[in-house]
């Protein structure tokens, strides 16, 4: 059988390889001139530093199957994401932990004292937080919220935190020890040769035809099934309207030596127009000392236009209603499955993308054994 995979990111690559290893022909198409999607990495021509072209990506997971899978296609070096934040002309450590609390309030509290102190700051009248702001106030109180989250969130989302769902903040940890590892997953690391090499190795199998600079709409062939990882609204010609996304602009600059001493610094105050600066040689500490220059990127967030790269699905009330209508259209469509961040209109980390694609492969195997191929429109409910 011949299949089509739309998108050469992790979702598409995992599905394509799985089908090809089972003897099927797979056409992988991507409008970009490269594979890897938003995880694309390349060597910076001026400095030699491995650059994450579409913003920093740190691999972290608690799923053993996912971790074992990616390690088959490249070497992952140990890496811990330690984020700093500048707020009101002071440098702090994130996520909010015991050091952050003691730094901010000028105290020397231990874990029990700090927990009781923050609980005294938290707004206990908020028992069922509905918005980002209510979630923050119920967790950490007004001072830490204003210092680290209010201005940053307004810049990142272009909205008042009162308009954003509480679920956005629920992903952020609050710790009462000195652990400054931004993630708490047992498996964390960075690919030694970058993410592009990982995706290339996944796709490097007989039976896969990768076509770059090629749109799905331009294809003339017939396929037994299409695995679509592009924007779900685009597949239907935006007939119900465009789903909302935030996009990012990156301002590149080069410096001698070490610019900021760490990979990522968040700028929390609203009067600073960018959200953060990332210094990419720090994402590869095993090689950073060999570079005499360093390359950094200031990151600006704004509403995505028609020709912008979609990064973060907004998923406000009007987007959810539109999404539900697109989901209904997708379930009525024959011969196509929607996958990944854009296909399901969800914010997904890399590990979740791969985990879901591997789970989809299990469903695909069962379907291929049947007399008639029948695959769902969604392997994971996008609603």
User: Within 10 A of 45 (CB to CB), how many other CB atoms are there?
Assistant: 8
Q: Which residue has the tokens 């990064």?
A: 311
User: CA–CA distance from 333 to each of 2, 177, 184 (Å)?
Assistant: 19, 51, 40
List Cβ neighbours of 54 (8 Å cut-off, separation of 6 or more): 37, 38, 39, 40, 248, 309, 311
List Cβ neighbours of 201 (8 Å cut-off, separation of 6 or more): 73, 74
Residue 244 token pair: 């909302």
DSSP label at 77?
Answer: E
pTM of the model: 0.94
Provide the pLDDT for residue 312.
87
Average pLDDT by consecutive 10-residue portion of the chain (383 residues)? 95 98 97 97 98 96 98 97 96 96 97 97 91 92 96 93 83 88 95 98 97 94 95 96 95 97 97 97 96 98 94 81 94 96 93 97 91 89 89
Provide the pLDDT for residue 44.
97
Instruction: Just list the catalytic residues.
Output: 171, 175, 246, 276, 299, 347, 349
Provide the pLDDT for residue 373.
83
Residue 162 token pair: 């009162």
Provide the pLDDT for residue 344.
96
To the nearest 10 degrees (0 to 180), the angle between helices 132-144 and 111-121 is 120
The alpha carbon of 208 is separated from its chain's Cα centroid by a whole number of angstroms, namely 26
Count how many Cα atoms sit within 13 Å of the Cα of residue 75 in the half-sphere of its side chain: 5
- Spell out where the chain has E strands: 2-6, 25-30, 41-43, 50-52, 59-61, 76-77, 83-87, 90-94, 187-191, 208-212, 225-228, 245-256, 264-267, 276-279, 293-303, 312-313, 336-338
């Amino acid at each position: 059988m011949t299949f089509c995979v739309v998108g050469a990111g992790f979702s598409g690559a995992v599905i394509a390889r799985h089908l090809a290893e089972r003897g099927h022909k797979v056409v992988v198409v991507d409008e970009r001139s490269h594979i890897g999607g938003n995880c694309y990495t390349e060597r910076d021509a001026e400095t030699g530093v491995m650059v994450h072209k579409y913003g920093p990506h740190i691999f972290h997971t608690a799923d053993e199957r996912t971790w074992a899978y990616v390690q088959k296609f490249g070497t992952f070096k140990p890496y811990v994401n330690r984020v700093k934040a500048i707020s009101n002309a002071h440098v702090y450590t994130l996520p909010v932990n015991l050091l952050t609390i003691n730094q901010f309030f000028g105290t020397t509290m231990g874990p029990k004292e700090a927990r009781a102190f923050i609980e005294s700051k938290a707004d206990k009248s908020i028992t069922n937080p509905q918005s980002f702001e209510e979630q923050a106030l119920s967790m950490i109180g007004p001072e830490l919220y204003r210092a680290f989250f209010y201005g940053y969130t307004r810049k990142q989302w272009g909205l008042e935190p009162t308009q954003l769902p509480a679920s956005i903040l629920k992903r952020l940890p609050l710790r009462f020890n000195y652990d400054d590892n931004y993630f708490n997953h047992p498996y964390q690391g960075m690919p030694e040769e970058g993410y592009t090499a990982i995706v290339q190795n996944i796709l490097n199998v007989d039976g896969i035809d990768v076509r770059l600079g090629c749109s799905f709409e331009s294809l003339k062939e017939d396929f037994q099934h299409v695995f679509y990882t592009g924007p779900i609204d685009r597949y239907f010609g935006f007939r119900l309207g465009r789903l909302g996304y935030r996009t990012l602009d990156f301002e590149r600059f080069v410096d001698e030596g070490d610019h900021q001493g760490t990979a990522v610094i968040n700028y929390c105050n609203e009067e600073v127009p960018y959200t953060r600066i990332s210094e990419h040689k720090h994402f590869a500490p095993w090689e950073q000392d060999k570079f005499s220059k360093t390359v950094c990127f200031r990151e600006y967030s704004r509403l995505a236009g028609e020709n912008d790269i979609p990064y973060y699905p907004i998923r406000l009330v009007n987007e959810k209603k539109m999404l539900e209508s697109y989901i209904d259209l997708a379930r009525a469509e024959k011969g196509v499955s929607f996958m990944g961040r854009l296909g399901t209109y969800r914010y997904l980390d890399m590990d979740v993308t791969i985990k879901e694609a591997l789970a989809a492969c299990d469903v695909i195997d069962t379907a291929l054994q049947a007399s008639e191929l029948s695959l769902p429109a969604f392997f994971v409910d996008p609603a």
